[in-house]
A and B are shown apart, each in its own frame.
Chain A
Amino acid sequence: MKQDSIAIKVEGVSKVYGKGESAFLALNNATLNILDNEFFTLLGPSGCGKTTLLRIIAGFENPTQGSILLHGEDISHLPPNLRSVNTVFQSYALFPHMTVAENISFGLEMLNKPKQEIKKTVSKMLSLVHMEELKDRHIDELSGGQQQRVALARALAPEPKVLLLDESLAALDYKLRKEMQIELKRLQHATGITFIFVTHDQEEALTMSDRIAVINEGKLLQVGTPHEIYNKPQDHFVASFVGDTNFLEISSASKSNNNDEVIFLNFNHDQILKVPCKKDMALNKSISIAIRPEKVSLVKDADSALLTGEIVDVSFFGTDTHYSIELDSSSGKAQSFHVRMQNASNQSKQYVAGERVGVIFKAEDIQVIDDSR
Chain B
Amino acid sequence: MDQNIQSVVEFPESKLERLKAKQRTIRNYFLSAPALIVLTIAASGPLFIMLFYSFLTADEWGGVVWQGSLQGWFEVFMRHDIFDGTLLPADAHLSIFWRSIKLSLVTTLLCIVFGFPTAYFIATRPRSQRSFWLFLVTVPFWTNLLIRTFAIMQILSHSGFVNKFLQSLGLIEEPLRLLYTETAVTIGMAYVYLPLMVLPLYATIERLDFSLLEAAYDLYASRLQVLRRVIIPLVKPGLVAGSILVFIPSIGAYVTPRLLGGGKSLMLGNLIELQFGQGRNWPLGAALSITLLVIVMVAMLFYVRSTSRSGVNHAH
Contacts and interface: CB of A to CB of B under 8 A. Distances in A.
Contact of B220 (A60, A97, A107, A140): A107
A138 B220 CA distance: 22
B313 A97 contact: yes
B168 interface: no
A128 to B, nearest CB: 17
A81 B230 CA distance: 15
A252 B67 CA distance: 118
B214 interface: yes
Contacts of B177: none
Contacts of A59: 218
Contacts of A154: 219
A86 B218 contact: yes
A140 B218 contact: no
A106 B229 contact: yes
Nearest to A151: B215
B117 interface: no
A95 B215 contact: yes
Interface in A106-123: 106-107, 110-111
A139 B214 CA distance: 18
A89 B217 contact: no
A80 interface: yes
B218 A80 contact: yes
B166 interface: no
A28 interface: no
Contacts of A138: 313-314
Given A138-B314, A140-B314, A93 B217 contact: no
Interface in A53-99: 58-60, 79-82, 85-87, 89, 91, 93-97
B118 to A, nearest CB: 23
Nearest to A84: B220
Given A97-B233, A140-B314, A91 B218 contact: no
Consensus secondary structure, chain B interface: helix
Contacts of B310: 97
Contacts of A93: 209, 211-212, 214-215
A218 interface: no
Contacts of A95: 212, 215-216, 230
Contacts of B221: 81, 106, 110
Interface in B263-316: 310, 313-316
Interface string B206-248: 0001011011111111100100011001100000000000000
Most chain A CB neighbours (cut-off 10 Å) among B209, B220, B229 = B220
A87 B215 contact: yes
Contact of B219 (A91, A107, A139, A140): A107
A86 B316 CA distance: 27
Interface residues of B, number: 22
A230 to B, nearest CB: 33
A62 to B, nearest CB: 14
A27 to B, nearest CB: 19
A233 interface: no
A158 interface: yes
A140 B217 contact: no
Contacts of A80: 214, 217-218
Contact of B316 (A96, A107, A158): A96
Given A87-B215, A96-B314, A140-B316, A158 B220 contact: yes
A81 B220 contact: yes
A97 B233 CA distance: 7
Contact of A110 (B212, B225, B233, B315): B225
A219 B252 CA distance: 65
A333 B234 CA distance: 63
A87 B213 CA distance: 12
B313 to A, nearest CB: 6
Given A89-B211, A106-B229, A140-B315, A97 B218 contact: no
Interface in A141-166: 154-155, 158
A88 to B, nearest CB: 9
25 contacts: A59-B218, A80-B214, A80-B217, A81-B220, A85-B218, A86-B219, A87-B214, A87-B218, A89-B214, A89-B215, A91-B209, A91-B211, A93-B209, A93-B211, A93-B214, A96-B316, A97-B233, A97-B310, A107-B220, A110-B216, A110-B219, A138-B313, A140-B314, A140-B315, A158-B219
Q: 6 closest A-B pairs (Cβ-Cβ)?
A: A107-B219, A93-B215, A110-B220, A93-B211, A96-B314, A97-B233
Interface of B: 209, 211-212, 214-222, 225, 229-230, 233-234, 310, 313-316
